[in-house]
Chains A and B, each alone.
Chain A
Amino acid sequence: MTITFTVLVLTAGIAQAQFPGPAPTFSVVQSTAPNKGQVVLTRIVKQQEQIAVSEKSLENGDFVERVRIITRVVDREVSVVYELGNSRVITPKGKQLPIDEVWRRLKKSTVVAVSGDSNLPAPIFLRALNPQTLVIIPAPLKPIPFPK
């Protein structure tokens, strides 16, 4: 079993024109607040964490305990609030849904697909989704402030 990575770094503009862009990811509706125009989605992110593991071994007739730091990958549940007023919600066929229809269909525990980069996902990815699955295209993120 081999996993090989080759990394190419491309600017967003060039990549959008030539490549399909990032795939949408699945999230689960945690709650909705139609009066605020917000939906809270839960998604799983993979994070690396380092933990101390103690190991005992027998050396020259004595038990020796050593502490080793290992890195493991854990799944963390993250809640993200999306403002649907700034976002678009479409079906996999590309049809934009009116907001009342969106609130009717976005129920707790519904699985939705969220665009990876605030753009319409490539048709090849949309075709892989169930026609009933909603696709949320969030507004672009605000620029990251300069760290002090």
Chain B
Amino acid sequence: MRIALALLTSVILASSVHAQGAPSGTPPSLRLVHGVNKKKGEITFLVTVTRVVPVVVEEEVIVNGQAQKVTVTKYQTVLEQRFQAINAASSRVITTAGQQLPIDQVWKRVKANTVVAVSDNGAVPAAAYLKALSVDTLVIIPPPAALVPAPPVPAPKPKRLPPVKV
């Protein structure tokens, strides 16, 4: 009996250790609130992402003692800013302790120029991710249908930059 109990305890402990392992699921992303529209029930975020875009640069190279202009394609990192609006009324808003907030509290606490965490898969983020947030940070969980990404954007055309001397 004692052996059986010890085995059972070790199995339970092993499973709890596994449960406390790496957090599962998608981490939430931090978003800057750009504005709120209480009438429409919308929260607008300003999301900044980095993208690498091709640019065409004219360079001067010395060939056989003579300066020649050549055109080369280089890659430049640019920041893109996107405004993204979600419907707060159809989303759940929780604290990092997992407590759901009523909508009137949401409008009181979500203001322009505040940062919130947004779930990217429509589910409550894993506890380890919630623990990594400040206790004052709110977590917005939009319904999964709201998170369908925009269709892929075609590759941008290279833009011409001023010549660079090598």
Contact = CB atoms under 8 A, between A and B. Distances in A.
B78 A21 contact: no
Q: Which of A12, A24, A128, A130 has the most CB of B within 10 A?
A: A128
Contact of A25 (B27, B32, B133, B152): B27
B84 A4 contact: yes
A67 interface: no
B50 A23 contact: no
A109 B30 contact: no
Given A26-B129, A127-B134, A128-B117, A146 B31 contact: no
A28 interface: yes
B131 interface: yes
Contacts of B117: 128
A21 B50 CA distance: 9
Given A12-B77, A109-B23, A5 B32 contact: no
Contact of B149 (A15, A46, A130, A131): A46
A70 B42 CA distance: 30
Interface string B56-91: 000000000000000011111111111111110010
A131 B49 CA distance: 25
Contacts of A42: 22
29 contacts: A2-B85, A3-B146, A3-B148, A4-B84, A5-B84, A7-B81, A10-B81, A20-B32, A22-B48, A23-B115, A26-B27, A28-B23, A28-B128, A46-B120, A46-B149, A75-B26, A92-B134, A109-B23, A111-B27, A111-B132, A112-B132, A116-B50, A117-B50, A127-B115, A130-B134, A130-B135, A133-B133, A143-B75, A146-B73
A78 interface: no
Given A73-B149, A117-B50, A117-B79, 16 more contacts: A1-B143, A3-B148, A4-B84, A5-B83, A12-B78, A19-B46, A22-B79, A28-B23, A46-B26, A109-B128, A124-B113, A125-B115, A128-B117, A128-B133, A128-B137, A133-B132
Q: Which of A1, A15, A20 has the most CB of B within 10 A?
A: A1
A24 B117 CA distance: 11
Interface residues of A, number: 51
A144 interface: yes
A35 interface: no
Contacts of A128: 30, 115-117, 133-134, 137
A2 to B, nearest CB: 6
Contact of B22 (A12, A109, A112, A113): A109
